[in-house]
A and B are shown apart, each in its own frame.
Chain A
């Protein structure tokens, strides 16, 4: 079974530029998550989708971050414009469905450096 795929693996941009990350979850997984992980910290949930609907985006900085999952499968996360403090690893995860008893499967992440 293929795992969660993410691309690109690394990205370096200048501040005020825009950037997009792509995620393809495990086949059949209804729930998709985007996390931000700053160096030395645990992952912080940005947004959670159930199929193509948003379940929770309370910690997504909506003035600059956006995410979509149009067909309920793959997803993109965009930052526009980027700030220095956005430098982090962006992790995508999926689970069979929403529910506290279901484990998440994580992708390898995209390491973003904003200069």
Chain B
């Protein structure tokens, strides 16, 4: 099965780090891992992507396991504006985007 597996929901306190896990045990060697997030009534928004190495950008960090069968999106300091559904997405070598069911992140003030 090519799908990714994520927890349905997670909670975090404001200003604390959040680790959002994703399982992609059937990933192929050329598949990228992308993360998108979606606020209510909006289209998904790109967060970060990677292939093998850990990646950092202004929004988040992406930690990819050495065997590439799992990854973790890290929000270093959660804010109320980070409350959204986060999708871990496999992008295959033939450029097919396979979205998972997502994790709904709730941020508590």
Contacts and interface: CB of A to CB of B under 8 A. Distances in A.
5 cross-chain pairs, A with B, having the tightest CB-CB distances, nearest first:
A106-B43, A42-B99, A100-B91, A103-B46, A100-B32
A42 B95 contact: no
Contacts of B92: 100
A70 interface: no
18 contacts: A4-B43, A31-B95, A42-B87, A42-B101, A43-B87, A44-B99, A45-B96, A45-B97, A56-B95, A56-B96, A100-B30, A100-B32, A100-B93, A101-B51, A104-B36, A106-B43, A106-B45, A108-B41
> For the complex, would chain A's binding face be called helix, strand, loop or mixed by DSSP majority?
loop
Interface string A48-91: 10000001100000000000000000000000000000000001
Given A100-B31, A103-B34, A43 B99 contact: yes
Interface residues of A, number: 25
> For the complex, would chain B's binding face be called helix, strand, loop or mixed by DSSP majority?
loop
Nearest to B34: A103
Contacts, number: 59
A98 to B, nearest CB: 5
| Most chain B beta-carbon contacts within 10 A, residue among A41, A100, A104, A108 | A100
A21 interface: no
B100 interface: yes
Contacts of B89: 42
Interface string B8-46: 000000000000000000000011101010000111111
B106 interface: no
